[in-house]
Amino acid sequence: MSPVNNIAVNQATDAAPTSGSGVTAFKVESPHVRYGESTIESDYLYDTTIVSRDASTGQLKAKPTKVHYQFQTKTKVGRVGLMLVGWAGNNGTTVTASILANKKNISWETRKGTQEPNYFGSVMMASTVKLGVDANLNDVYVPFNEVVPMAHPNDIVIGGWDINSLSIGDAMRRAQVLPVDLQRRLYDELKELKPLPSVYYPDFIAANQEERADNTIGGTKQEQLDHLRKDIRDFKQANDLDRVIVMWTANTERYADIIAGVNDTADNLLKAVAEGHSEVSPSTLFALASILEGAPFVNGSPQNTLVPGVIELSERERCFVGGDDFKSGQTKIKSVLAEFLVNAGIKPVAITSYNHLGNNDGRNLSAPAQFRSKEISKSSVVDDMVGANNILYKKGEHPDHTIVIKYVPSVGDSKRALDEYVSEIFMGGLNTISIYNTCEDSLLASPLIIDLFMMTELMTRVSYRVKSDADAAEPEWAQFHSVLSILSYMLKAPVVPPNTPVVNALAKQRMAMENIMRAFVGLPPNNEMLLEHKAFH
């Protein structure tokens, strides 16, 4: 299939570009910020506290420390593309159709009247951040996506692969996610879009997916890897793109076994592909193809795509990767509520989560091996909150945590989630909180694809260096670590660089995104001390 058939949202439209100008909602007036024709450079003093313990007394010693960073952000976004693995699935068709509706401002009729398109659910497109205070000490807010120049979803060129050959228009109808009137208005354009053949290994996904697999790449694993690399190159060239980001939004796979000599190092993994080893999964093959083509790769499903060999290769090739598993609804609530309880000195002792859903994701998860991947990604979400409080939890202690997912076809994409939190309170008492949540699964997950794309794309334009008084010459600019932990807000089981702690607490994850973007333009981190309201009166 010609790669030109993969052009999606940017075809046949007179809409003006919405990004790439390098203009932000504000300009920082500071000697520590320099605006060039194509860059923003900032000097930033990073305040941290180094803690040690006195060997003789056992007392902790805290030492405030400042590190001088310089950041350089390229302001020109350019022309960017997104290739989705599983493009014809619920998430792929929903995000493609929704971006098209937003780009062309296509409204549709509902029982309550006319509905306009929007980007609700995207933290980048539908939330704001506090910039500072005005002369009257009133808070001033700006859109999150205007702190630094970012790609706009309306400008994304979308393509991708799928094991099923349905057009994106017909796959949108099959998904039954978007309102019928909106589907009708988008169908003619989307039916022209066809997914590229994908990689299908029956051992890695549920047997009930076999009937969909009519659009697959043959040959050996090495030939398939070469084929995927060519797909990425062709897509980039055909659409005149500056960069491409690849994202896995296909079915959940089973976990791959980590085997010494197979997927433990980059060279071993590439050798295993050449030899056709059975433990190289389709998602890992896509990750390898992306890295080797210099295209950042994000895993939106819970399986362990980013095996050690993938991480090492991403470091070696200096290509970004991120994962795992879109954090859409229930897990977001869990990370907020668990953090609240533990920070309030309340001790969760049991967390029980039940889900049922009827989309194809639920059908695939009805197989035990695929459910196990999801169970693992959901189960670790409270670990860092528990580990942060050694008053409530003694070493090795952890809440009972049970997760159940059932496939109920009749509910379709509308997922039901029931959570029960049992906590120990004052003097041995118990408190129980129960939450019943009904959510439209793909309408929560699709904005995460947009956010992950926008943040990943931004990081390809940012470099940094650490300054020191001892430096005889200017240090070289470097990119951030290849594993993008900054994406953690959107992911259930964040993959982080080696020897880096995992943060699951949602407020901390969002604060990290907000403050690092402020650092790129030379602004201090936001805090809620409100000293200006105390000191100025």
* pLDDT-above-90 percentage for the chain: 70
Q: 385 to each of 346, 352, 388, 506, 513, how far by Cα in Å?
A: 12, 17, 5, 11, 19
Q: Which of 162, 231, 324, 325 is catalytic?
A: 325
| 325 classed as catalytic | yes
Weakest mean pLDDT among 12-16, 269-273, 364-368: 12-16
Q: Mean pLDDT throughout 50-64? A: 93
Instruction: Kindly report, residue by residue over 210-241, the tens digit of the pLDDT.
Output: 899 999 999 999 999 999 999 999 999 999 99
pLDDT at 13 over 50: no
Please state whether the peptide bond connecting residue 324 to the residue before it is cis, i.e. omega within 30 degrees of 0: yes
pLDDT computed for residue 14 by the predictor = 36
Residue 173 CB neighbours (<10 A): 18
pLDDT computed for residue 531 by the predictor = 75
Beta strands at 80-85 and 243-248: parallel, antiparallel or unpaired = parallel
pLDDT computed for residue 150 by the predictor = 96
Give me the amino acid identity at 184: R
Residues 328 and 95: their CA atoms lie apart, in Å, by: 14
Q: Which domains does the chain have, with CATH numbers?
A: 3-16+78-323 (3.40.50.720), 33-74+444-531 (3.30.2360.10), 330-441 (3.30.360.10)
- At 418, which helix (H) or strand (E)? strand 414-424
The answer to whether 232 and 241 have CB atoms below 8 angstroms apart is no
Q: Is residue 411 exposed (0-12), middle (13-18) or buried (19+ Cβ within 10 Å)?
A: middle
Report the candidate in 399, 431, 432, 434 with the shortest Cα–Cα distance to residue 417: 434
Task: Identify any residues that bridge with 93 across adjacent strands, giving them in sequence order.
Answer: none
Q: Mean pLDDT throughout 248-268? A: 93
Contacting residues for 479 by C-beta, under 8 A, at least 6 apart: 318, 459, 460, 462, 463, 464
Instruction: Specify which of 130-134, 402-406, 466-470, 496-500 reaches the highest per-range mean pLDDT.
Output: 130-134
pLDDT computed for residue 308 by the predictor = 95
pLDDT at 7 over 50: no
- 26-34's contacts with Cβ under 8 Å and 24+ in sequence apart are 26/131, 26/142, 26/146, 28/521, 28/522, 28/523, 30/522, 32/522, 33/521, 33/522
Radius of gyration of the chain (CA): 24
| 374 classed as catalytic | yes
pLDDT at 36 over 50: yes
Instruction: Kindly report, residue by residue over 67-95, the tens digit of the pLDDT.
Output: 999 999 999 999 999 999 999 999 999 99
300 vs 11, higher pLDDT: 300
Residues 287 and 304: their CA atoms lie apart, in Å, by: 11
Q: Which of 194, 347, 374, 378 is catalytic?
A: 374
Rounded to the nearest angstrom, the gap between the alpha carbon of residue 22 and the centroid of all alpha carbons in its chain is: 24
What ranges make up the beta strands (E) of 134-173? Answer: 139-143, 157-162
Kindly compute the dihedral angle of the four CA atoms of residues 508, 481, 515, 155, in this order, to the nearest 10 degrees: -110
Kindly compute the dihedral angle of the four CA atoms of residues 385, 386, 391, 395, in this order, to the nearest 10 degrees: -140
pLDDT at 168 over 60: yes
Sheet with 60-74, strands from edge to edge, namely: 33-35, 39-53, 60-74, 462-467
Report the candidate in 16, 84, 3, 23 with the shortest Cα–Cα distance to residue 452: 84
DSSP for 477-507 reads: PBPPPSB-GGGGGGBSS----TT------HH
pLDDT computed for residue 181 by the predictor = 97
411 vs 378, higher pLDDT: 411
Sign of the Cα pseudo-torsion (163, 87, 79, 293, in order): negative
Residues 285 and 290: their CA atoms lie apart, in Å, by: 9
Instruction: Kindly report, residue by residue over 355-387, the tens digit of the pLDDT.
Output: 888 777 777 666 666 667 666 666 678 888 888
Give me the amino acid identity at 369: A
Q: Which of 221, 415, 419, 441 is catalytic?
A: 415
| 378 classed as catalytic | no
The answer to whether 251 and 301 have CB atoms below 8 angstroms apart is yes
DSSP for 293-358 reads: TT--EEE-SSS--S-HHHHHHHHHHT--EEES-B--SHHHHHHHHHHHHHHTT-EEEEEEEEEEE-
**What does the DSSP 8-state code read for residue 4?**
G
Instruction: Kindly report, residue by residue over 418-461, the tens digit of the pLDDT.
Output: 999 999 999 999 999 999 988 888 999 999 999 999 999 999 99
Residues 498 and 125: their CA atoms lie apart, in Å, by: 31
Q: Mean pLDDT throughout 301-320? A: 95
Contacting residues for 394 by C-beta, under 8 A, at least 6 apart: none
Weakest mean pLDDT among 170-179, 284-293, 387-396, 452-461: 387-396
Report the candidate in 1, 160, 11 with the shortest Cα–Cα distance to residue 91: 160
Report the candidate in 12, 32, 11, 164 with the shortest Cα–Cα distance to residue 90: 164
The answer to whether 520 and 399 have CB atoms below 8 angstroms apart is no
| 415 classed as catalytic | yes
Q: Mean pLDDT throughout 501-530? A: 90
Report the candidate in 454, 402, 177, 417 with the shortest Cα–Cα distance to residue 298: 454
What proportions of the chain, in percent to the nearest 5, are helix, strand and coil? Answer: 35, 25, 40
Report the candidate in 86, 75, 84, 94 with the shortest Cα–Cα distance to residue 37: 75
Contacting residues for 322 by C-beta, under 8 A, at least 6 apart: 296, 297, 298, 299, 452, 456, 483, 484, 487, 491, 495
pLDDT band at 524 (very low <50, low <70, confident <90, very high): very high
Residues 168 and 209: their CA atoms lie apart, in Å, by: 18
Residues 364 and 48: their CA atoms lie apart, in Å, by: 45
423 vs 469, higher pLDDT: 423
Q: Mean pLDDT throughout 195-218? A: 93
**What does the DSSP 8-state code read for residue 526?**
P
